[in-house]
Amino acid sequence: MMVEHTPWLLTAVPLLMAAFAMLSARLAPYLASVSTLICGTLLLQALEPLSQETIIHTLGGHAAPLGIELYLDRLSWMMLALTWLGGALCSLYAFFWFRSTGHAGVAGFWPLWLGLIGGMNALFVSGDLFNLYVALEVIGICAVSLAALAQSREAIRAATNYLLATYAASLAYLFGVGILYGLYGTMDWRLLATLAQPEAPALLAAGLMIAALAIKAALFPLHFWLPSAHATALPPVSAILSALAIKGAFYLLARLYIQLEMPGSLPALLLGYLGAAAILYGGYQALMAHNIKRIIAYSTVAQSGYFFLIFAIGGAMAWQGGFLQLYSHIIAKATLFFAVGNLALAAGSVTLEGIKGVARAAPLTLFGAAMAALSIAGLPPSGGFLAKWLLLQSAIEGGAWHFVAVLAIGGLLSAAYLFKIFRYALIEQPEKRFNDPGVWLGWVVLLGGFISLLFGFVGGQSVAWFDLSALSLGGAS
C-alpha cells in the first residue's frame, strides 16, 4: 500500500524539489507548491490508518537495530501536519514578498526553505538517535543560511551567532548519542526505552541531549541567539525561524518525555520552571523593545515557554493545551512576522516611531495581525485562548498556583506589548506618506489571522488527538 511509503516520501519529496529548485530560480516557487501539494496528500492518506496503528517503514528491508526504521504515529503526524500548514502559509507569503520587493535573496531562499522542510519531516519520522542528529543538522544548516540571506552586517553577525549556538548544541547532542551507543549498543528509540537504566553515564548522556535541544529550542536562558537572528532576517525567514525551525527540538524533548517516562522527574521539572522564566523574561523584554521585529522575536521566547510548562504541570489536559498552543503559535506568530514585514514595506521603518499612522496604508495587515494577536495574548475566541485555558485548568487542578500566576502575568505582558504596536500604528499622521505594501501581502496576513481564530472554534473537537498518554514509538496509537 502507498501509505506504507508515507514516512520516507515525506522526506524525499521536499529534498528532491530543493535539488530541482537550485537548477531554476524561476520555477522554484512552483516546485515548493508541488511539494506542499504532495505532502498534504500523503498526510491525509495516512490519517485513517493512524487511528488503528503506527505506520512503520523499514528502509532497505533491514529491520532495527541493524537497519533503519521510520515511524509515523499520532505525535509525529501532528508535528508533520502543523509543519505543512505553517509551511504552506510561509511559502505563500514568501512568494508575494519576493515578487513585491525583488530582493536578491530569492535565488537562495527556495532551495534552503525546501531543504529545511525536508529536514523537519525527516526529524518527525526518524526512529533512531543518529538519524535524528542528521535531521537536526539539515535543519540547522538551512535555518542559519536563511537567516544570512538579508546580507546586512547585523544579519551576518546574528547568523554567525546562530551557527555557533546550533553547532555547540549539535556537538553536545552527538556526545550524548555516543555515550548511549557505547552503553547499550543501539541507537533505536524502542530498544533504548527498554534497555536504558538510571546509571551515571546514561544520565550524563540524557543531560547533554536535553541541554542541546534546549539551545536549539531557544529555551531561556539558552535563547541568546534567537532575538537578533529573528529580528535581522528577511520577513519570510523571520516567520519560518520563529514559527517552525525551533519546534523540532521541542518535539524531541516531548518524545524523550514520553519514551523515557519522565513525568515528575528532575529534568521535567527543570524544563517547566525554565519555561515559566521564559514567559516572564521574554514578555518583559518585548514590552521594553522599540523595534517591532525585536518585539515579536522576544515574544517567541516568551510564547515558547508555554510549551515547556507542560513538562512540569503534567497530565493529559496540560499536554492537550500545550499542543494546541503549539499549533496556535505557529500560525499566529508567522502571521505577526508577515504583518511586521508589510508594515516595514509601507513605512520604511521597523521602529515604533517609524510606523506611526501606518494603519492608513495597510488596513488589511492590521486587521489580520489583530486576529493573530488575540491568539498570542490568549484572548477569546482564538486557539491561543483555548490552549492557555487548558493549561490554566490543569495547573489549578494540580495545585500549581505559581504556574497559575505565571500564566496570568504572561497573558497581561503579551497583551501589553502587542497593544503597543497597534497603538503606534493607529496614531494619526496626516502629513506622512506611506508606500503601498501590496494587496496580496495583506490578504496573506488576513488569512493567517483567520486561521488563528479558527483554531479556537475547532480546537475543542480535536483535543482527543493531543492526548499522548497512549503513545509509544513503534506501538499502537
Residue pair 177/133 in contact (Cβ under 8 Å)? The answer is yes
Give the whole-angstrom CA distance, residue 302 versus residue 296: 10
Strand partners, 55: 72
Yes or no: say if 414 and 302 are a contact pair by the CB < 8 Å rule: yes
pLDDT at 100: 86
The DSSP 8-state label assigned to residue 298 in this structure reads H
Measured CA angle at 217 (ends 211, 218), to 5 deg: 90
Distance between CA atoms of residues 96 and 239, nearest Å: 14
Please say if the pLDDT value at position 378 is more than 50: yes
CA 416 to chain centre: 23
Query: For 258-281, how does the pLDDT look when each residue is reduced to its tens digit (9 = 90+)?
Result: 766 555 577 788 888 999 999 999
Per-residue pLDDT tens over the stretch 411-426: 899 999 999 999 998 8
Task: Please report, for the chain, the start and end positions of each structural domain, with discontinuous segments joined by +.
Answer: 1-162+221-244, 264-477
pLDDT (tens digit per residue) in 288-299: 989 998 999 899
Query: What are the tens digits of pLDDT across the range 199-214?
Result: 888 888 888 988 899 8
pLDDT at 111 over 90: yes
Place of cell 515548493: 32
pLDDT at 261: 59
Greater model confidence, 436 or 404: 404
**Contact, 453 vs 381, CB < 8 A?**
yes
Radius of gyration of the chain (CA): 21
Render pLDDT for 42-98 as a digit per residue (tens, 0 to 9).
Answer: 888 877 776 667 777 776 666 666 667 788 888 888 889 889 999 999 999 999 999
What is the Cα–Cα distance from 314 to 303, expressed in whole angstroms?
18
